[in-house]
Each structure stands twice: as C-alpha cells, then as structure tokens.
Amino acid sequence: MSAKSDLYAQDLTGAVWLAAPGSPVDDRIEIAELGDGAVALRNPADPVGAIQRYTAEEWQAFLNGVHDGEFDR
C-alpha cells in the first residue's frame, strides 16, 4: 500500500499509536504503522483531528534527513 489515496482511505480505528517513552503529552506526536513501511502521524492532544499519512518512501526520506542532520538548528 503505497499510493497516498490508499493511505488516506485506510481505516485507522484499530491503529496502534506509539510515542517516545517519557515524552511530555503536550509536546509530542504519535506514530502508527500502516503496513509496507507507511506511517500515520497525529497530535495526541487532538486524536480525532488531522492525521498525516506518509508512504514508505516519504517516511524513509524524512528519517534519512533526521539522521543526516537536515533539521538540526
């Protein structure tokens, strides 16, 4: 499942949302694996609000950028 339309069509009712252990509730995001490397991200303070979904390729590009320091201040 890699097409964006497929990701946004996926029902997330039973999704398992994970956050970094010990992260403050008011300052974190939660991630759910959608299969085939795709993920969804949400703000746990607004669990029914906007949920972003990323293909495996998009997510890997983000992780690579984090690893390479692209987002360092």
pLDDT tens for each residue of the chain, 73 residues long: 448 888 999 999 999 999 988 888 778 899 999 989 999 999 888 878 899 999 999 999 999 999 999 999 8
What pLDDT does residue 20 have?
87
pLDDT at res. 45: 85
Structure tokens at 72: 């360092």
Q: Is residue 72 part of a domain?
A: no
pLDDT confidence of residue 69: 96
Q: Which two tokens stand for residue 58?
A: 């998009």
pLDDT at 24: 83
> Is residue 73 situated within a structural domain?
no
**How far apart (Å, rounded) are the C-alpha atoms in residues 70 and 64?**
9
Q: Looking at the domain assignment, is residue 36 inside a domain?
A: yes
Domains of the chain: total: 1
